[in-house]
Amino acid sequence: MSWCRRSWKTTLLGSLAVAGAMAGPATAYGGERPAGPDDRGLWASAVIEPGHKGVVEVGGYDGEPLGEGSVLTLTAPAGARVTGVPFAGPGYRGAVAEGGSSGTYTFVGAAVSTWKGHTFPFVLSLPPDAEPGTRLPDCTLALRDAEGTVRRRGSCSVTVGLPAPTLSRPASGVPLSASPEASGTAYPGAQVTVRDALEEEVCATTAAPSGLWSCVPGIALPAGAGRLQATATLNGASAMSEQIDIMVSGSAQEQQHDTVSDGGGGRL
């Protein structure tokens, strides 16, 4: 029975997967309440693919309690829009500014809020033409008390992720020759590398403007069961396809009979 599963290693930026992660502490700004020795800046980060939505989870406040009317604001990075504020904790009200330039959570409870022990999710949407591997600028965070005084600032790191490539050929579970063509789709211009179960390179190419790619192993694959997976990289971002199990039945000698030279070193 053929089957496939996810990567055996972690990519640098992943594909999709999108979640909040800790970024470096922010510094205090002049004219505002100075940070104490135990204070930390607000923090948030996320990786979001072009044309998709992702969640930026803001946390990190450990200062003094703030009362009713205190507000947490995320200003969207360049090219992105805030589309949702889904936190459903009691005493907090979320809102999105017209056009999605920012989102806020306001404490409206009768008691004093510490803003501690919670992470506050903001849903961001990226345009389809966002460039994978780039970090979007100007994503900022601010927590103000009821009088509007900034009690803590921070920055959020939003990186454009690389969509995962597909590996559509060879077909899993079908007996193959020793040099089967591999093909699929990937982000246009991405470098695509096909590797086996030992993470040895089988073949490599660059995805065409249409997103299609294909390559043929330079060395015949060993007979028997194996596994293939495609990795796409662009601008430092990386993403992986599903793994596929393969069964190589042809030998290197048999593959030579199926190879015809076109006089330029190509394979027909």
| DSSP 8-state secondary structure symbol assigned to residue 99 | G
The pLDDT of residue 202 is above 50: yes
Q: What is the pLDDT of residue 250?
A: 58
The stretch 61-86 carries a mean pLDDT of 94
Residue 108 neighbours by CB distance under 10 Å: 13
- The pLDDT-based confidence of 67 (bands split at 50, 70, 90) is confident
Q: Which pair of structure tokens corresponds to residue 266?
A: 């190509």
In contact, 184 and 165? CB cutoff 8 Å: yes
Out of 16-30, 67-81, 192-206, pick the least confident.
Answer: 16-30
- The pLDDT-based confidence of 39 (bands split at 50, 70, 90) is very low
**Bridge-based pairing state of the strands 175-176 and 244-248:** parallel
In whole angstroms, give the CA distance from residue 42 to residue 20: 12
In whole angstroms, give the CA distance from residue 95 to residue 100: 10
pLDDT in tens, 127-181: 999 999 999 999 999 999 999 999 999 999 999 999 999 999 998 888 898 899 9
Which one has a higher pLDDT value, 88 or 256? 88
In whole angstroms, give the CA distance from residue 238 to residue 231: 7
Largest Cα separation within the chain, whole Å, is 82
The stretch 202-225 carries a mean pLDDT of 94
In whole angstroms, give the CA distance from residue 240 to residue 193: 10
Please provide the average confidence, as pLDDT, over all residues in the chain.
Answer: 81
Residue 88 burial class via C-beta count within 10 angstroms: exposed 0-12, middle 13-18, buried 19 and up:
exposed
Which pTM does this prediction carry?
0.73
Which one has a higher pLDDT value, 255 or 240? 240
CA nearest neighbour of 176 among 215, 213, 218, 221: 221
Q: What is the pLDDT of residue 40?
A: 56
In whole angstroms, give the CA distance from residue 226 to residue 221: 9
Q: What is the pLDDT of residue 251?
A: 52
